[in-house]
Structure formats: structure tokens, C-alpha cells
Structure 1
Amino acid sequence: MSQPVFSVSGLEIAFRGRDDWSPVVHDVSFVIARGETLALVGESGSGKSVTSLAAMRLLDPENSRTRGKVLLEGRDLLTLSEAEMRGVRGNDIAMIFQEPMTSLNPSMKIGEQIAEVLVAHRGMAQSEAMAETQRLLERVRIPAARQRMGEYPHQSSGGMRQRFMIAMALACRPRLLIADEPTTALDVTIQAQILELIKVLQEEEDMAVLFITHDMGVVAEVADRTFVMYKGKAVEQGPTDTLFAAPRQPYTRALLSAVPRLGSMRGDTGPARFPLIAPETGQPVPARPVTSEVDPTAAPLLEVRGLTTRYQISGGMLGRGAGRVHAVEGIDFDIRPGETLSLVGESGCGKSSAGRSIIGLTPAQGGSVKLDGAELLGLSRRAIRPHRRKMQMIFQDPFASLDPRARIGGAIAEPMLTHGLVSRAEAPDRVADLLEKVGLKADMAKRFPNEFSGGQRQRLCIARALGMTPSLIVADEAVSALDVSIKAQVINLMLDLQEEMGLSYLFISHDMAVVERMSHRVAVMYLGEIVEIGPRAAIFENPQHPYTRRLLSAVPVPDPGRRGMRRGLDVRELKSPVRPMDYVPPRREWREVSPGHRVQVPGPEWSEEIAQQATGIPA
């Protein structure tokens, strides 16, 4: 290894409690050389993010205590004054956070925000800083960089906002870049673009990179070495290829075993539970096969025909509207009893709007939604109420779905009491049964939501949904925010419940590797339309639409051998679904590839991508 740029030695971090100090990081040590990427890996609560914040001296000194050494090219950052540290931050060490909108000022134009960094840290005049800002935006492959400088953060997609943050981080040519979960909240295609961009810029600048993540697929693609943390302690570290090939510690094996691997389901026809390893023992926990089958001749539980949902944009002449968002445009599909149909696509494709329109939370403008043969669209709130009991929704953020002031028992019992499914005397016993069904203890009913982990809170939301004895559950990105091993546990729970209760799922997700294990059938959405639909094996093993192939090619694979692979930098964003008020959607042609596998015939706008995919040149 070349001379270290950054080294941490004997790092100890504690936070002030009510009576004493509570240690959260214990004796952590690692080094990063110039041009090297070290991945700091672990689940939420492992101490990886707090380690990076301590290194940047961003923890509140009144409520935290940091000991040890943090050396940047031999200079101990823990001994510097706050004024000296302000010179280090931005100039020598830059940081990219998970959610760019919390780091960008929504009231300032993009160009002004990046130029502000250059004026403050490099002493540039305003005009010089603006010229350098345009160069930086072009360097991180922002199309029409000059125009983007005059826009506000909300006018760009999540991927573009993360590029702005990378441009800001590189403004002062730092020696160390700390990337804290920079792709966790992004769609798979945008994630691939950001990972590729960081790799290219690292090579150009010969930067050291500390990459913090819980996604082992991302680790395999970016990291030269990997450092695994668990409960604030170092578990294992070493070259990434060695660690993936022969992990020594049980917790590392548990993390790797829980990673959904695209292609692992080849040859299987139905869903499969995730294999798990008990972190305490390192011994495999055998995954029971999924034995339930879907009867292809059964009448559909849910029938969706021509579902159309549009949002009018205010403005225009005489208040007639400036345009409409065509969120869902004439989609068709069925779901049979006991079946999982996954609806996949990038943010903005309309999959969540489709789920909310089916459940009745968002009004649809046209089409038909039938549950057990009964038409739901157009019903009054009173008329749809008995049908709502049969359909329940699980959202991405369980904390936002639970009243923080209500005890869990009350939160689970409330919808059952509202619909008259149980009496107040029966409710506690029913709540206890539901908690145990989702793998929690009955006495947890007395707790508040903040006393549970993210995975436990999602189990609570599942328990509340089950209380209504539904036939259909719409799971909208229900596991996207969860750590890899917790995600595997929740998916296994959902499959257990499907097998036991005959549940049907509309599983909305952008995580293609999870969808592959969870689904019987898959529908791919792009700009409000379904462009391909079919059995899970057909979609994953024989994708026909260029957009489906783009999604699958962008999935990070937990194989360190791919680290040197270059995808080519792709600067495309998902096109806008906003259309003029007089827009008439074109008629689409479909072809049947195999029984049940249908694909929309790509229009001329896809011709370039089809050619690029055929020649193997990155699109």
C-alpha cells in the first residue's frame, strides 16, 4: 500500500446520557491510501456514519466525546481548533450525504450554492467562481450545465441533485472524499450512474474515498478494501475480493448471505425465501421452500383495465391549467388469489400513483378497478368502505405511518375497531395474536413507535394491515429503506404470511434483485405506462423491452471481479410525464413473446438505445 492519506487509530466515541457517557464506537482503526476506496460496511446503528462525522469533527462537542487519532497526511484532526477545521472541511476533506435535498438550500439557485463554496474556500471573485461552477457541473456530466446553474434544487431529479453535491464536494479538489450512503435513496439506474461517476472522478483526481454503505453489491463494485462494523466494533477488514470469497466472521457471512443476487432464481418458477445466517453463531438458517402455488385458472382477485391517473398543474389562461402530469396512463393487469405481481420502474414512472389509485387514496380519471368482481372506481367514500377492508397498504416509511403519540396496541387496534371487526374487550387479544404472527412479542403493545427499530416498525405496519383480514396488500417500497439482513427477514415474513393466509400482493419496488425473489409475475412501468409484463422468469431471463434491459443491466452485482468494469457514463434522466392539456396519448402496439409475456412495441424514441444494447456499447 502507498503512503496513507487518511488514517484512524484507536477511535472511541461516546454520547452523553442522562447519568453517564454511552460508548457507541470502540477502538476502530483503519487507513486509506491515495487513489484507494475503503468501504465502511454495516447496518443501521453499527457506528459507520458516526465514525465519519467524528472524523470531520461534526459531532456536538457538548454531547459527544471522541478519543484516539484521526490523521490526514500525518496531521491529527482531533487536536485542531475549530477555525483550523473549517479550513480542512471542503478543502482537504469533502463529504457527500445520502439525501441531497437536506444538504442543498432550496431557496438558492444551484450555481450560486456551488459558487459560494469557491468564494469561501478558494478566494475566487464571483464571476470567476461562476465560470468554475459551470466547468465543475460539466465535469460531473450535467447536461446543459449553464442552464442548470440558474435552476433551483427541486427542479432536478434525485440523481441530478446528487451530481450537484458531488460537484460541490470536488470544488476544492479534496484529498479525501467521504461518501455516506450516497446511492441508497436512488433508483438502480441512477445509482449505477453515480457509482460510475465517483470511480471516474477518483481516477482523474487520484483521491482517497471512504465509501459508507450497507449494500454489499455496491461494495463489490467500488471498494478496493472493506471494513465491516457491528455494534460500534470492527468485525473484519481486508481486500474486498478476499473478504467476499472467504469471510472469516459470522456477521460478515450473515451480511453476504442476505444480499439478493440477480440471476440466483434462474430455473425456478415461483418466489423463494432468503437464506439467512444467525449472526451470533455464523450457522446457516435453512430457508424453507415456498410451497404455495397460484392457480392460473382461478378468477382474478384484482382486475385493472385502462387505469388512468393525471394531476393537473395550476396556471394557464383563465385558470384552465398549465398542463397535466400523466402519472398512470391506461394500464392493464390482473392479480390472482395468492399471487404476487411486482410493479417496477424508476421514481416518477407512476408505480406508486397506480398503487394509490387502486387502493382509493388517489382519485383516478378513468379505467376500471375490480376487486372480487366488484367495481371500485366511482364509488362514494361510504360505498367503498367495506371493500377497503379487503385491501390494505404498507408504505415505505413505517415511522410516518404510525402516530408517534399512540401506543402500538392502540395503533393496531384502531382500524379493526373502526370497521367493527372486534369489540374493545376483544382488541387486546387480537393485537397480541397479530404481534406474534409478525415475529414480535405480545407485551410490545405497550410501547411507542420510537422504541422500535426500522425493521420492527415495518413489522408493526404489516400487523396492522393483517388486522383487517385483507385479500390484497399493496406494498409500496415496503423494504427499500431497510438494511440488507432486515430486508431479507421482512420479505421472508411476507412470504410466510402469503403461504399461511393466501394473501395477494401488489409489490411496488425499484429493487430488481428483491423483486426477482418475491414475484410470481412482473410488470415494468415507464412514464406511466406498462411496457412489459409477464412471468418472473420470462422478464428476468428474456427481457424484451430496451427499458427492462436497462433496469436489469444497472443492478449492482456482489462480485468484486466486476470492480474494474466500466459501464460508460449515462447522463439521461427519466423524461418528464408532464404533458400539455390537449395531449392525446398515442395508441400502443403489443406483441406476445410467450404465454403471458407481453411487451409494448418500442417507438422510434428507443431506436438508439436498441442499437446500443445490440452492439454492447453503454447506452
Structure 2
Amino acid sequence: MNEPVVRVEDLSVAFSARGAWRSVVAGVSFAIGRRETLALVGESGSGKSVTALAMMRLLPRGATRTTGRVLLHGRDLVALPEAGMRAMRGNALAMIFQEPMTSLNPSLTVGDQISEVLRQHRRMRFAQAKAETLHLFDKVRIPAADRRFGEYPHQLSGGMRQRVMIAMALACRPKLLIADEPTTALDVTIQAEILALIRRLQEEEDLAVLFITHDMGVVAELADRTAVMSAGAIVESAETARLFAAPREAHTRMLLSAVPRLGSMRGIRRPARFPLAGAAGGEAVAEEDVNGGPAATPDGTGLPDAGAPPLLKVRGLTVRFDSSSGFFGRSTARVHAVEDVSFDIRPGETLALVGESGCGKSSTGRAILRLVRAHSGAVEFAGRDVLALPKSDLGFLRRDVQMIFQDPFASLDPRMRIGAAIAEPMLVHGVASRRTVPERVAELLAEVGLEAAMADRWPHEFSGGQRQRICIARALGLAPKLIIADEAVSALDASIKAQIVNLMLDLQRDLGLAFLFISHDMAVVERISHRVAVMYRGEIVEIGPRAAIFENPQHAYTRRLLAAVPVPDPAHRGLRRIFDDADPQPPLRAMGDPPVRRRWRTVAPGHAVQV
């Protein structure tokens, strides 16, 4: 390794809890040289993010105790006074955080937030800062940069917010970039471009990168060296290729064995559990082919009981958002977020909705639950027209259809202990009494791999992955018939992701649950879904049985998604093809401008593609 940019020596962190100090990071040491990437991997709660926050001196004073040294170009960050550390942050070192919504100021536009960094640290005037901000937006592939400059964080998708955070971190050209799960919220194509961007910046700026992730495919693609953390300590560290080829520690082998691999389901037509240590593997169960649905509404299923009436029927769903401009804020255009989307979901079936960030996947799920207003179309659940019902009659929908949101921190009340957060919907809907609810909460926490004693903790005391498990437990509490899972496992490390997917499959088998699984993780989609619908620019462009979509993709966009999936093997580094294509965002059309009516081609029974 060349001369280190940063050297961490015996870094230890303890938290004050109930009058005692609890060690969370113990004796961590590593170094990162110029143009080098060190991946820090491990299960959720292993201490990865705490290590990064300690390096940035962002842990709360008084409640934490940090020892050891963090030497950046010879200066010990741990010993610096706060004024000196403020001067270092943003200039010498920068951090991309895991949850962009909690890192962005909701009262300022995203353009102003990045401009503020440039004016403070690089002493730019407003016009210079705006021009540089637009350049950064282009670098991280934020479309319609001029319009996005004036938008607020809540107006952007999760993936778009993460791209804003990456642009902000790169604004002052730091020498050390700490990236804490920076591609978690991004789809595979944007993820690939962000990784390529980081590699290019390393060459141009002599950038050192500490990359914290649970995605072993990203590690194989980007990292020069990899350090594996468990219980606050580094248990193994080696060059990435050597660690993947011959891991020494059992914990490392467990992490690698839990990685979902695209293509592992070839020839298997039914969803299958992840083969985990001590758990039953994914046996394939044969299914009969099913003739497809109507040509006008492409449909089809891999379920044996294809004749069962749909639990959810969506026809021509359209969602549009007005875009205001001018001095008086008049609506002059509309974003066609969801355009003429149709599909069915039967009891016990999983339909995966995939596509790039901002393509309309989340808006589709929210429109089904009437969390956003549908412009037109029909949504029928259990035989009842959801869109036509008055709000007072939506109690059945709130109970029988649950949604797991993409951002776990934003969907948990920070003033409510997580036990109370899980219990509240069960008490409101009367599915548990105050006497029995503590026992049920403990069961739900155990089902998602958390301890019952954690019920008394606050949301901020958990890692991002642990908070997502809490949200899954809360959704399961009402025993719903349909779960809309919006990136439900994107924040989880590989082993917990495998456990949650197995849990969802077990619940589907035991309870007949149906899932609308919204995701950009194609390897997980391949394992969990019966059917797949691919969205692009607000429309479904291909739909069919999972095996047909993955083994015989027909639409160019579907092929692009599959080609961009990172392979968890360093030998394949740089071999993924990234296709150049148009903006995947839903189109902005003038008021009254009608969309183009699409034609469909039936490829095989149940498999249809736009032409």
C-alpha cells in the first residue's frame, strides 16, 4: 500500500447506557492509501457506522467515550478541538450517510443545501455555487438539474435523495470519502454509475475511500481491500480477491454464503428460501405453466391455482402530479408518475415491481393504498373498489394491506419506543389487547431476528438495518392479506436479508400472504417472486413469470437492468455492461398533453412486452 491518507489505530467507542459504559467498537485498526478503497463489511449492528461516525467526530459528546487515534495526513482527528474538526469536515474528509432523508434539511431546497457547502468551504459566490451544483447534479446523474435545484427533499424519491447526498459529499473534493451504504437506495444501473464515478474521482483527486456496505457484489466491484467486522471488532482483513477466494474466518464464510447471486434460480420456477447455515435450503417445486391474461392488460402467473380470483386487481392506474411555475405558481405541466398500469395479484402470490429510482414504483404502491391520489384507473381489493370508497370506509384496507416503507427512520416516530410503535396498530385495529400485546410484540421481534428486550429502546438506538426489521415486524402485527414492500430489504445486510426473505416466504406459505415486492435488488427479486413487472418512465414495459423475465428478457430496458447487477466475484470486476439510455424518470408533459397509447406483444403464455 502507498503512503496512507488515513491511519486508524486502536479505535474504541463506548456508549453510556443506564449508568454504565457499553463497548460497541473495540480496538479497530486499519489504513487507507491514496486511490485505495477499503470496504468495511459486517452484519447490521456490528459497529461499521459507529466506526465511521467516530472518525468524523459526529458521535454525541457526553454519551460516548472514544479512545485511540485517527491520523489524517498526520493530524489526529480524535485530539483536535471542535473548531479544528469543523474545518476538516467537508474539506479534508466527507461522509455520505445511509439515510438521506435524515441528513437533508427538509426546509431548504436541495440546490441551496449544496450551494451552502460550496459557499462556506470554497468561498464561492451564489452564481458560481449554483453553476457548480448543477455540474455536480450532472455528475451523479440527476436529470432535469435546473428543476431539481429548486425542489425540496420530500419531493424526491429515496434514490434521488441519495444522489443529492453523494453530490454534496463530493462538492469540496475531499481527500478521504467515508461512504456509509451510499448505494443502498439506488437501483442497479445508477449504483453501477456511482461506483464508476467514485473510481474515476479516486484517479483524478487521489481520493481514499472507506466504503461501508453489506452488498458483497459492490465490495467485489470496488474494494481493493476488505475488512470484516463482527461484534465491534475486525475479525478478518485481506485483499478483496484473496478474501473472496479463501476466507479464513467462519463469520466471513457465513456472510459470503448468504449473498444472493443472480442466476441461482435458473431452471427453478417456484420461489425458494435462501440456503442458510442450520436452515433448510431452497428446494425447487415444479409448477404448471399458465396461459397468460388478456392482451390489453398483460397478465399471467406462475402459481398453480391460477384460476383463483385476484386479491388485488389494478386496471389503468394513472398518477399525475402538477408542476408549478411562474410568479403565481400556476400549474403549467404534469409529471406522469404512473401511466396506465395494470396487473393482478392473487392470494399467496408475489409480484415484483422493478425499475430505476423514480420510475413510478413507489407511487404505484402508494396509490393502491390511497396515500397519493390516483388521477384515473381502478383498484379493486377483495372485491371492493378502493378508489371509490369514502375515507371512513377504508379501515379494512388499512388492516388487510400493510406497507413497509423504503426509509425506516422516517416511518418510525422518534418519540415512541419501538415496542409501542409495533403495538399501536394492533391496539387500534383490535387484533390484540393491552394484556396480550407485549407477548405478541416479543414474538414479532424474534421473528425478524431482534431480541424482545429491545422493545424498550428508541428508534435512534438502532442501526438502519435493525430499524427496517422493526418496520417489518410492525407490518406483520396485523396479519395482513397483502403487504406492499417498498425496498423492504434494501437496508439489510446479506445474512439478515436472507433471513427476512425466508421469513416472508414462510409467512406466505403458512398464511397465504400476497406481496407486491418493490425492489431494485434483482438477485432478491429472482428468488422471492412468482411474477415480475418492469417499470420504466411510469409505465410497465414488460411483465411475466419470473423465469421468463430473467431467462428470456425481451425489452431493452429489462436487459439493461439485468446487465448492471454487480457480481459478488472480484474476477468479474469491470465486466458489467452499462447501457446508455434515455432518462428513466417519468415524463413531464404540458397540461392536456395526452400520453402515447402503447401496444403489447405476447411473447409466451403470461409473458408480454411493450412494442
With normalisation by structure 1, the TM-score equals: 0.82
Q: Is the 8 A contact 2:337 2:586 kept in 1?
A: no
SS in structure 2 of the partner of residue 39 of structure 1: strand
Q: Is the 8 A contact 1:399 1:449 kept in 2?
A: no
**What whole-Å deviation, never above 9, does each CA across 1:143-202 have from its counterpart, x for those lacking one?**
899958964565877666655655554555433222222212223222222111001111
Residue of structure 1 in register with 2:290 after alignment: none
Farther off after superposition, 168-177 or 585-594? 168-177
Residue of structure 2 in register with 1:606 after alignment: none
> Which runs of structure 2 are paired with 1:238-277 in the superposition (5 Å)?
238-277=238-277
1:289 matched to 2:289? The reply is: no
Gaps of 5+ in 2: 288-302
Q: Is the 8 A contact 2:351 2:515 kept in 1?
A: yes
1:411 matched to 2:424? The reply is: yes
Residue type of the alignment partner of 1:328: V
Residue of structure 1 in register with 2:300 after alignment: none
Give the drift of 1:516. Answer: 0.8
Gaps of 5+ in 1: 278-283, 602-619
1:543 matched to 2:537? The reply is: no
SS in structure 2 of the partner of residue 561 of structure 1: helix
1:590 matched to 2:600? The reply is: yes
Residue of structure 2 in register with 1:198 after alignment: 198
Farther off after superposition, 434-443 or 451-460? 434-443
Q: Is the 8 A contact 1:115 1:126 kept in 2?
A: no
Q: Is the 8 A contact 2:159 2:357 kept in 1?
A: no
Farther off after superposition, 592-601 or 211-220? 211-220
Residue of structure 1 in register with 2:221 after alignment: 221
Farther off after superposition, 573-582 or 512-521? 573-582
Q: Is the 8 A contact 2:272 2:283 kept in 1?
A: yes
- Give the whole-Å Cα distance in 2 for the aligned partners of 1:163 and 1:463: 31
Change in Cα spacing, 1:576 to 1:41, as seen in structure 2 (3 Å) is same
**What whole-Å deviation, never above 9, does each CA across 1:274-295 have from its counterpart, x for those lacking one?**
1223xxxxxx533253659532
- Give the whole-Å Cα distance in 1 for the aligned partners of 2:232 and 2:446: 31
1:497 matched to 2:514? The reply is: no
Give the drift of 1:330. Answer: 1.7
Change in Cα spacing, 1:390 to 1:366, as seen in structure 2 (3 Å) is same
Give the drift of 1:540. Answer: 1.0
Residue of structure 2 in register with 1:72 after alignment: 72
Q: Is the 8 A contact 1:112 1:149 kept in 2?
A: no
- Give the whole-Å Cα distance in 1 for the aligned partners of 2:503 and 2:92: 46
Residue type of the alignment partner of 1:460: A
Residue type of the alignment partner of 2:500: V
Q: Is the 8 A contact 2:534 2:540 kept in 1?
A: yes
Residue type of the alignment partner of 1:310: R
> Which runs of structure 2 are paired with 1:27-66 in the superposition (5 Å)?
27-66=27-66
Q: Is the 8 A contact 2:445 2:473 kept in 1?
A: no
Give the drift of 1:132. Answer: 8.6
Residue of structure 2 in register with 1:306 after alignment: 316
Residue of structure 2 in register with 1:617 after alignment: none
Farther off after superposition, 191-200 or 482-491? 482-491
Residue of structure 1 in register with 2:136 after alignment: 137
- Give the whole-Å Cα distance in 2 for the aligned partners of 1:501 and 1:489: 18
1:2 matched to 2:12? The reply is: no
1:96 matched to 2:90? The reply is: no
**What whole-Å deviation, never above 9, does each CA across 1:458-497 have from its counterpart, x for those lacking one?**
342243231xxx4433323322333332222111111111
Give the drift of 1:547. Answer: 1.8
Farther off after superposition, 556-565 or 133-142? 133-142
SS in structure 1 of the partner of residue 478 of structure 2: helix
Residue of structure 1 in register with 2:544 after alignment: 534
Change in Cα spacing, 1:205 to 1:563, as seen in structure 2 (3 Å) is farther
Change in Cα spacing, 1:334 to 1:497, as seen in structure 2 (3 Å) is same
Change in Cα spacing, 1:412 to 1:435, as seen in structure 2 (3 Å) is farther
Q: Is the 8 A contact 2:186 2:520 kept in 1?
A: no
> Which runs of structure 2 are paired with 1:400-439 in the superposition (5 Å)?
404=416, 407=420, 410-411=423-424, 413-417=426-430, 431=440, 435=444, 438=447
**What whole-Å deviation, never above 9, does each CA across 1:332-354 have from its counterpart, x for those lacking one?**
22223322111122333222232
SS in structure 1 of the partner of residue 67 of structure 2: strand
Give the drift of 1:298. Answer: 3.2
Give the drift of 1:585. Answer: 1.9
Residue of structure 2 in register with 1:464 after alignment: 477
Farther off after superposition, 287-296 or 526-535? 287-296
**What whole-Å deviation, never above 9, does each CA across 1:361-408 have from its counterpart, x for those lacking one?**
444343333345454442334555556654444434566656626736
Residue of structure 2 in register with 1:523 after alignment: 533
Residue of structure 1 in register with 2:362 after alignment: 352
SS in structure 1 of the partner of residue 177 of structure 2: strand
Farther off after superposition, 569-578 or 293-302? 569-578
- Give the whole-Å Cα distance in 1 for the aligned partners of 2:85 and 2:445: 51
- Give the whole-Å Cα distance in 2 for the aligned partners of 1:247 and 1:401: 38
Change in Cα spacing, 1:103 to 1:332, as seen in structure 2 (3 Å) is closer
- Give the whole-Å Cα distance in 2 for the aligned partners of 1:366 and 1:391: 21
Residue of structure 2 in register with 1:186 after alignment: 186
1:454 matched to 2:464? The reply is: no
Match of 1:475 among 474, 485, 507: 485
- Give the whole-Å Cα distance in 1 for the aligned partners of 2:439 and 2:68: 52
- Give the whole-Å Cα distance in 2 for the aligned partners of 1:388 and 1:157: 23
Residue type of the alignment partner of 2:179: A
- Give the whole-Å Cα distance in 2 for the aligned partners of 1:520 and 1:214: 26
Q: Please provide the CA RMSD for this pair.
A: 3.9
Farther off after superposition, 233-242 or 175-184? 175-184
SS in structure 2 of the partner of residue 592 of structure 1: strand
Give the drift of 1:222. Answer: 0.6
- Give the whole-Å Cα distance in 1 for the aligned partners of 2:51 and 2:186: 23
Q: Is the 8 A contact 1:312 1:325 kept in 2?
A: yes
Q: Higher relative contact order at CA 8 Å, sep ≥6: structure 1 or structure 2?
A: 2
Farther off after superposition, 474-483 or 515-524? 474-483
Q: Which has the larger radius of gyration?
A: 1
Give the drift of 1:537. Answer: 0.8
Match of 2:570 among 553, 560, 570: 560
Match of 1:485 among 488, 495, 502: 495
Q: Is the 8 A contact 2:15 2:63 kept in 1?
A: yes
- Give the whole-Å Cα distance in 1 for the aligned partners of 2:310 and 2:138: 52
SS in structure 2 of the partner of residue 251 of structure 1: helix
Change in Cα spacing, 1:564 to 1:590, as seen in structure 2 (3 Å) is closer
Q: Is the 8 A contact 1:436 1:442 kept in 2?
A: yes
Residue type of the alignment partner of 2:189: T
SS in structure 2 of the partner of residue 364 of structure 1: coil
Residue of structure 2 in register with 1:12 after alignment: 12
Residue of structure 2 in register with 1:235 after alignment: 235
- Give the whole-Å Cα distance in 2 for the aligned partners of 1:399 and 1:127: 33
- Give the whole-Å Cα distance in 1 for the aligned partners of 2:311 and 2:580: 41
Change in Cα spacing, 1:568 to 1:138, as seen in structure 2 (3 Å) is farther
